[in-house]
Amino acid sequence: MLLTPQGEIRLIGHRGAAALAPENTLASFRMAASLGIRWVEMDVSLLADGACVIFHDDELQRCTNGQGQLAQSSLEQVRRLDAGSWFAPQFADERIPTLVEALREIQRLGLGLNLEIKHEGEDVEALVTPVLATLQQEWRDADSLLLSSFNHQALRLCHQRAHHYRRGQLYEAIPENWRDHLRAIEAYSLHCDWQSLTPQLAAAIKDEGYQLLCYTVNDPLSVASHWAWGMDAVFTDDPRVFSGKTCG
Kindly tell me which of 215 and 229 has the beta carbon lying closer to ligand G3P: 215
Kindly tell me which of 26 and 170 has the beta carbon lying closer to ligand G3P: 170
Of 152, 163, 81, 146, nearest in space to 119 by CA: 152
Residue pair 190/168 in contact (Cβ under 8 Å)? The answer is yes
Helix (H, G, I), strand (E, B) or coil at 21: coil
Distance CA 40, CA 145 (A): 10
Give residues 103-142 in contact with ligand G3P (rule: CB under 6 A): 116
- Please tell me whether residue 167 binds ligand G3P under the rule CB under 6 A: no
Write the binding mask 101 to 130 for Mg ion: x where contact by CB under 5 A, - elsewhere: ---------------x--------------
Q: Name which of ligand G3P, Mg ion, none residue 148 binds, using a CB cut-off of 5 to 8 Å depending on partner kind.
A: ligand G3P
Residue pair 125/157 in contact (Cβ under 8 Å)? The answer is yes
Of 64, 68, 70, nearest in space to 83 by CA: 64
Q: Name which of ligand G3P, Mg ion, none residue 55 binds, using a CB cut-off of 5 to 8 Å depending on partner kind.
A: none
| Residue 152 is among the residues annotated as catalytic for this protein | no
Question: What is the nearest approach in angstroms of Mg ion to the Cβ of residue 116?
Answer: 4
| Residue 56 is among the residues annotated as catalytic for this protein | yes
Kindly tell me which of 45 and 64 has the beta carbon lying closer to Mg ion: 45
Distance CA 190, CA 197 (A): 11
Shortest Cβ contact with ligand G3P: which residue? Answer: 215
**Residue ranges in 39-151 assigned as alpha helix (H):** 75-79, 99-108, 125-138
Active site residues: 14, 56
